[in-house]
A and B are shown apart, each in its own frame.
Chain A
Amino acid sequence: MNHEFSIESRQFNLWYGDFQALFDIDIGIRQGIITALIGPSGCGKTTLLRSVNRINERLGYVRTEGLMKVMQKNILDSDVELAQLRKQVGMVFQRPNPLPLSIRDNILFAHKLHTQSHEKLSRQDENNLVENVLRQVLLWDSVKERLHQKAIDLSLEEQQKLCIARLLPVKPSILLMDEPCSALDPKGTEAVEELLWELRGQYTILIVTHNMAQARRVSDESIFMLMGKLMEHAPTDQMFVTPACKETADYIEGRYG
């Protein structure tokens, strides 16, 4: 097994009921870099992303086969604790979805889920933690005056940053992002991309995007998927300049939707 991989899958298949959405996916996502997941609509990017923290299982009619390793542990094993897995693998959604709590409570939410009552932080420590992660996502200066206001009242860009920030207190090693900028305007997109660069190195980031320019700007490696299959996985520069598959070239040049 290769230890530089944070996420690794072998012959991973996934069905929604009778419909097979992923076919024999073999991926190896290297630790600490940003990997972009691209491909036409409906090709299974979201499905693959949501398999890494097993959030797909909420649906109740999802079935999987094969191997999906996160930090060298097969997460499909029966002894895997979902809470622990999801502590290690944070997820950012397409639409910012802060909880209907204050900014501060949003940041502390995951942290409180994963700490036992005896190791509860003092209020001062909590404040430090909140400040620390908000600084990491470049949000501290704009929200420090209103930590007790509802998170829903923030702008979408700020909400999305908050949704990233709230994952950090539990020290995840992987961040999954499903089109995190698609609900944002160009300025917000730029701000989030800037943030991605800040986080690069500390976390393994897997990001789904429809935006080719964004994939080129932010990612080290890219994975191209088509109809539930992995077509090509290569360093981003290489994929965008000399794609190995014809389908990749077609997609990058905008010949699919």
Chain B
Amino acid sequence: MNESTNQTVSHSIDDCRNLDWYIDKFIQVFVFIGGISAIVFIIGIFFFITNEGIGFLFKSGFQLTPHAVSLLEEAKIPDDTLAALDELAGENFETATELEAALEDVLMPEELSQFQALIVKSAVYEPFSISEFFTSYRWKPTSEWNPTYGILALIAGTASVTGFAMLIAIPFSLGAAIYIGEFATGRQREVLKVLVELLAAVPSVVWGFIGLSIMNPLIIRLFNVPIGLNVLNAGLILGLMAAPIMTTIAEDALKAVPDRYREAAEAMGATRWQLVFKVVLPASKNGLVAAVLLGVGRGFGETMAVLMATGHTINLPTSVFDSVRALTATIAAELGETAVGSDHYQALFTLGILLFLVTFLINLTADLVVRGIRKG
């Protein structure tokens, strides 16, 4: 009796390994891989960008400019000297004197004097400093004489466009979210929500196209300015782009406010507006801040539309009618034309690191802010 029970039990355990069991296991593993891959990708991307760009950040001292090398190559010097020179071109020296000493080792005296004659025409060696990267507004990576990598103008471009975009997107999206979440009812609300989501799905190149071919002539005509591709244009486009996503997130935040708060306030005689301003907004402020932050992140990282609508001109903007150039657009436009591993290439990846860090920080902050509500 006892034995037979045991047998049935073990039998039924065996039976568990049927098709369902395998499907279940498979799905478990699949889902696990899916979850883990997010982490792997993030770390992978971070390492890739850092690896390509970090060399630039730690570069210091002096090196031969590519231009100086090419000038020497045109001058008649023996092949083996050239090879040694090429090797030298990639190296970094603490001081200019060390670089000169190294040059003296490689070149014959007469070649050296020939070379020095060229110096007059070209910068033989350039001082490199990371502070230039952050403090100079000159971004001239392709200059033959003296390439410089100052990103200040690019930062100003991105910041002005994103800032202007937020001036538009914040009131629009919060207004839309409040209307959809607190005032619209039934069908109207559903339709609006679907529309907002549709709007969020418009590809950025389409927005860029609108900026280029509709806003550009419009701005020129309305404000009588020579060019319509500027901070105003890109800011408007970017604001309209970011608003739907912000609306969706903000509306979720409003929805997360328990209905019993609304009921309590209404039962005390609050009007709809009092309800919104005194109860719903304070209760959802973390979620709303997160929505705004994610919108900022979106604006900051947007590439195509700003490439098309800013005018892509290096400039420290003084008015909304100035053309600018954004960090992201710079990478997109220039990376294809740089030699892998060159200074320019590395500088672009350094920009990538910067973008990655900033968006990462923005998202992290948004996440922490949201977590704040759950606790509070």
Q: Is A21 an interface residue (CB 8 A)?
A: no
Question: Which A residues are CB-close (under 8 A) to B185?
Answer: 60
B261 and A114 within 8 A (CB):
no
Chain A 88-122, CB within 8 Å of chain B: the 1/0 string? 00110101011111000000011011100000000
Contact of B268 among A58, A95, A110 (CB under 8 A): A110
Are B269 and A99 in contact (CB-based, < 8 A)? no
Contact status A100-B269, CB under 8 Å: no
With A and B bound together, what is the CA distance between A178 and B247 in angstroms? 36
Among A86, A97, A150, the one with the most B-chain Cβ atoms within 10 Å of its Cβ is A97
State whether the Cβ of B267 lies closer than 8 Å to any Cβ in chain A: yes
Min CB gap A76→B, angstroms:
17
A245 CB-CB contact with B under 8 Å: no
A244 located at the interface, meaning its Cβ lies under 8 Å from any Cβ of chain B in the complex: no
Q: Which residue of A lies closest to B265 (CB)?
A: A99
- Interfacial chain B residues near A163, Cβ < 8 Å: 264
Q: How far is the CB of B196 from chain A (nearest CB, A)?
A: 22
Q: Is the CB of A97 within 8 A of B268?
A: no
Of residues 245 through 284 on chain B, the ones whose CB sits less than 8 Å from some CB of chain A are 258, 260-271, 274, 278-279, 282-283
B263 adjacent to A58 (CB under 8 Å): yes
Chain A residue contacts of B270, Cβ below 8 A:
83, 113
Contact (Cβ within 8 A) B263 A83: no
Measured CA separation A114–B266 after assembly (Å):
12
Instruction: Given A100-B282, A100-B283, A109-B278, verify A55-B268 contact (CB < 8 Å).
Output: no
B283 touches A86 (CB 8 A): no
Partner of A109, one of B262, B263, B265: B265
Report which of B265, B266, B268 forms a contact with A90, defined as CB distance below 8 A: B268
Residue contact A97 to B269, C-beta cutoff 8 Å:
no
When C-beta atoms are compared, the residue in chain A nearest to B268 turns out to be A110
Q: Is A82 an interface residue (CB 8 A)?
A: yes
A167 at the interface (CB under 8 A from B): yes
Q: Does A87 contact B (CB under 8 A)?
A: yes
CA separation between A82 and B265, bound complex, in Å?
A: 12
Q: Is A233 interfacial (CB-CB < 8 Å)? A: no
| Given A82-B269, A83-B271, A86-B269; A97-B263 close (CB under 8 Å) | yes
B59-96 vs A: 1/0 string, CB under 8 Å? 00000000000000000000000000000000000000
Q: Which residue of B lies closest to A166 (CB)?
A: B268
Which B331-374 residues sit within 8 Å CB-CB of chain A? none
A99-B279, A100-B283, A109-B278 are contacts. A93–B271 as well, Cβ < 8 Å? no
**CB-based contact A55/B263 at 8 Å:** yes
Number of interface residues of A (CB under 8 A): 29
| A84-B269, A87-B269, A100-B282 given; A113·B274 CB < 8 A | yes
Number of interface residues of B (CB under 8 A): 21
Residues of A within 8 Å of B258, CB to CB, are 97
Chain A residue contacts of B261, Cβ below 8 A: 97, 99-100
> Of A85, A99, A114, A150, which one neighbours B264 at CB under 8 angstroms?
A99
Please, which residue of chain A has its CB at the minimum distance from the CB of B185?
A: A60
Q: Kindly state whether residue A204 has any CB partner on chain B within 8 Å.
A: no
Known interface pairs A93-B260, A99-B261, A100-B261. Does A55 touch B267 (Cβ–Cβ under 8 Å)?
A: yes
> Is A160 part of the binding interface, using a Cβ–Cβ cutoff of 8 Å?
no
Docked Cα-Cα span, A91 to B260, in Å, equals 12
CB-CB nearest in chain A for B261: A99
**A47 interfacial by beta-carbon distance below 8 Å:** no
A101–B258 Cα gap in the complex (Å)?
14
Complex interface bits, A14-55 against B, C-beta within 8 A gives 1, otherwise 0: 000000000000000000000000000000000000000101
Which residues of chain A come closer than 8 Å to B266, judged between CB atoms?
55, 58, 86
Residue of chain B at shortest CB distance from A82: B269
Minimal beta-carbon separation of A85 from chain B (angstroms): 8
Docked complex Cα distance between A86 and B262 (Å): 14
Report whether A83 and B269 are in contact in the complex, using a CB–CB cutoff of 8 Å: yes
Q: How long is the Cα–Cα vector from A86 to B275 in the complex, in angstroms?
A: 14
Task: Considering the complex, give the chain B residue whose CB is closest to the CB of A176.
Answer: B267
Q: Which residues of B contact A58 (CB under 8 A)?
A: 262-263, 266
Distance between B91 CB and nearest chain A CB, rounded to angstroms: 63
Nearest chain A CB to B286's CB is how many angstroms away? 11
A86 & B267 in contact (Cβ 8 Å cutoff): yes
Out of B186, B268, B278, B376, which one reaches A86, CB within 8 Å?
B268
A212 and B47 CA atoms in complex are apart in Å by: 70
Q: Tell me which residues across on chain B come within 8 A of A113, comparing CB atoms.
A: 265, 268-270, 274, 278
B134 to chain A, nearest CB (A): 43
Q: Are B278 and A53 in contact (CB under 8 A)?
A: no
Q: Given the known inter-chain contacts A97-B260, A99-B279, please indicate yes or no for A109 contacting B269, CB distance below 8 A.
A: no
Residues of A with Cβ closer than 8 Å to B?
A: 53, 55, 58, 60, 82-87, 90-91, 93, 95, 97-101, 109-110, 112-114, 150, 163, 166-167, 170
Q: Which 6 A-B pairs have the closest CB atoms?
A: A86-B269, A110-B268, A83-B269, A97-B260, A91-B267, A97-B264
A selection of 26 A-B contacts at a CB cut-off of 8 Å is A53-B267, A82-B269, A83-B270, A83-B271, A84-B269, A86-B268, A87-B269, A90-B267, A93-B264, A93-B267, A97-B260, A97-B261, A97-B264, A98-B264, A99-B264, A99-B265, A99-B283, A100-B283, A100-B376, A109-B265, A113-B268, A113-B270, A113-B278, A114-B269, A150-B376, A166-B268
Q: A113-B270, A113-B278, A166-B268 are in contact. List 9 more A-B contacts (CB 8 A).
A: A55-B266, A58-B263, A60-B185, A87-B269, A91-B267, A93-B264, A93-B267, A99-B264, A100-B261
